[in-house]
Amino acid sequence: MELQKEIEKRLTFAIISHPDAGKTTITEKLLLFGKAIHAAGAVKSSRTDRKTTSDFMEMEKQRGISVSTSVMGFNWKDRKVNLLDTPGHADFSEDTYRTLTAVDSTLMVIDSVKGVEERTRKLCEICRMRRTPIITYINKLDRDGKDPIELMDELETELNVKITPMSWPVGQGKAFKGVYSLYEKRLILFNSHGTQDEDDTIEITDLSDPKLDQYAGLEAEQLREEIELINEVYPSFDREQYLSGHITPVFFGSAINNFGVRELLDCLVDIAPSPRIHEAEERTVEAAEEKFSGFIFKIHANLDPKHRDRIAFLRICSGRFEKNKQYLHVRSGKPFKTANPTAFMAQDRNIIDHAYPGDIIGLHDTGTFKIGDTLTEGEKMKFKGIPSFAPQIFRTVLNMDPMKSKQFNKGLQQLAEEGVVQLFTKKYTNEKLLGVVGMLQLDVIKYRLEHEYKASCRFDNSTFTTACWINSDDKKELDKFISIHSGKIAEDVRGAMVFLAGNKWLLERTLEEFPEIKYYFTSDYE
């Protein structure tokens, strides 16, 4: 009974968007309303020493972008909210994809000026594939942007989702007066000074009420017409349709001004799902099962640079996790016990005694864990859907200071285990290759090697442009393949075999010549 009660309290969601849509800003404002912080930082401001809570890495603070998922928790209206702020930049998409395996719902942020952008399309597609419920927040209504009805059409067409407006803007840009909440049947007036008090909220259950004209002025009649139109065009909210991923509720606001965030948060805790099921390769795992299970979806070295620590992020899928209790580390078959599991507020951590499904906890890691590892109370199983993808950009990485070889190798190994980059070691020459999705990942590697491991590196171009993981049931055929292509064989950070190719045509020709070999373009084939 206690377990079920704790599960129903949990709300674990990720915030996703295209870069610069306001994702990290809305994260700060949600934390502000949840009283998890007392002052929000400016994402890119050079005029203040305050930085965003979720962007804790020095490089993130300097560039004003998120390059790593942050985990934060707070309480709101009897629910324990676990919020994950993900990187918006495409170069760090793998971190975002893995994070989406660890949440039960998402909040998608759209820039009202730019509308639907490339990263939003891809992230929405992944959520749809996983049937992850999405709530949409259309941001920056205090700026002159696209017409709200045009935005609704764009959302449906570009993202292939059905929508249901939960609020509607009163004016836009300089004429922006606030929003009418269709969910709560009340008018919320915009205050450009960045506060949102109860005095700014007027109860208007009937749109013909003269109070609407009093407060909305010339915008009142247009609001009536637009709401009449959207009520005819768009379906009313259906929670089951939302939970199944078939419909997205839409809110409007201005995150930088705190506006529309409280209504969004109130609705989130009302309708967003508690932890449900997770698919393992062996079976479906229900959150309410008595026995504990969970998986590692992220690893971060040097979360606190003063302590040179390494933290594995564990999503709890079922049962109750307890500190000092012995669990099974499924991949190694060895027991695991921790005396200091932690809960997060970005880089701040608190030791906890226990945790429940939906919670994200940190485990001190001395090199035990890899992304995708499972912990259980004894059952041998592996959770699905936490892969690495074959990279498209390869660079040879060279140590620039032979006296720092130990730091250089340790840094590369740990950053690869985090998933920041993929590290391939050529089988017969031990030459180290980095595989990345985007060039910005190389900047992160160089920066973190220098600042966290005191090692310097140089990148050289590589002749390889594509790769796949290889395996075979026939050991002789696999050995023959490796012998013939010895200069193109490498191992990844887990020791899995990888075939490297100069271009897609060569890769495809090789696949045809050796039909006995199994080829995989994601690493979760085992």
The pLDDT of residue 37: 62
The pLDDT of residue 387: 64
The pLDDT of residue 440: 77
Mean pLDDT of 300-311: 66
The pLDDT of residue 193: 54
Q: Which amino acid is at 522?
A: T
41 pLDDT tier (thresholds 50, 70, 90): very low
260 and 282: one domain? no
455 and 354: one domain? no
Q: Is the pLDDT of residue 51 over 50?
A: no
The pLDDT of residue 87: 65
388 falls within a domain: no
Mean pLDDT of 164-179: 89
293 and 174: one domain? no
Place of tokens 């594939």: 129
234 and 152: one domain? yes
Q: Is the pLDDT of residue 43 over 50?
A: no
Distance CA 331, CA 325 (A): 18
Domain end marker among 274, 305, 329: 274
Mean pLDDT of 58-86: 70
How many angstroms separate the first and last alpha carbons of the chain?
37
Mention every residue, 6+ apart, whose C-beta is less than 8 A from residue 222: none
Give the model confidence (pLDDT) of 128-164 as tens digits.
878 899 999 999 999 999 999 999 999 999 998 899 9
90 falls within a domain: no
Domain end marker among 244, 274, 304: 274
251 pLDDT tier (thresholds 50, 70, 90): very high
Number of domains in the chain: 3
Among 419, 314, 360, 354, which Cα is nearest to 72's? Answer: 360
CATH number at residue 416: 3.30.70.3280
The pLDDT of residue 96: 75
Mention every residue, 6+ apart, whose C-beta is less than 8 A from residue 488: 464, 499, 500, 501
Q: Is the pLDDT of residue 89 over 80?
A: no
Q: Is the pLDDT of residue 325 over 80?
A: yes
Distance CA 319, CA 296 (A): 16
Give the model confidence (pLDDT) of 380-438 as tens digits.
999 987 666 778 789 999 999 999 999 999 999 888 887 778 899 998 898 999 988 77
201 falls within a domain: yes
319 and 410: one domain? no
Among 520, 485, 517, which Cα is nearest to 501's? Answer: 485
82 falls within a domain: no
12 and 132: one domain? yes
266 and 291: one domain? no
Report the DSSP pairing between strands 489-491 and 497-501.
antiparallel
pTM of the model: 0.77
Q: Which domain holds residue 159?
A: 8-68+95-274
CATH number at residue 290: 3.40.50.300
The pLDDT of residue 28: 86
Mean pLDDT of 233-246: 93
The pLDDT of residue 345: 61
Measured CA angle at 93 (ends 432, 523), to 5 deg: 55
99 pLDDT tier (thresholds 50, 70, 90): confident
Among 83, 79, 59, 61, which Cα is nearest to 71's? Answer: 83
253 and 297: one domain? no
78 falls within a domain: no
Q: Which amino acid is at 14?
A: A
Q: Which amino acid is at 393?
A: I
89 falls within a domain: no
Mention every residue, 6+ apart, whose C-beta is less than 8 A from residue 413: 423, 493
41 and 172: one domain? yes
Mean pLDDT of the chain: 84
Mean pLDDT of 443-453: 88
428 falls within a domain: yes
Q: Could you count the other beta carbons within 10 Å of the beta carbon of residue 461?
A: 9
Give the model confidence (pLDDT) of 502-522 as tens digits.
888 888 888 888 988 998 877
- R_g (Cα) of the chain, nearest Å: 25
192 and 313: one domain? no
The pLDDT of residue 157: 92
Domain end marker among 229, 245, 274: 274
Tokens of 242: 């939302």
108 falls within a domain: yes
Share of the chain above pLDDT 70, in %: 86
366 pLDDT tier (thresholds 50, 70, 90): confident
Query: Strand 497-501's sheet: what is its strand order?
Result: 457-461, 393-399, 432-436, 422-426, 489-491, 497-501, 466-471, 518-520
48 and 135: one domain? yes
Distance CA 11, CA 476 (A): 51
Q: Is 58 exposed, middle or buried, given 0-12, 13-18 or 19+ CB atoms closer than 10 A?
A: middle
Mean pLDDT of 249-270: 90
Give the model confidence (pLDDT) of 199-235 as tens digits.
566 777 777 888 888 877 778 888 889 999 999 999 9
39 and 183: one domain? yes
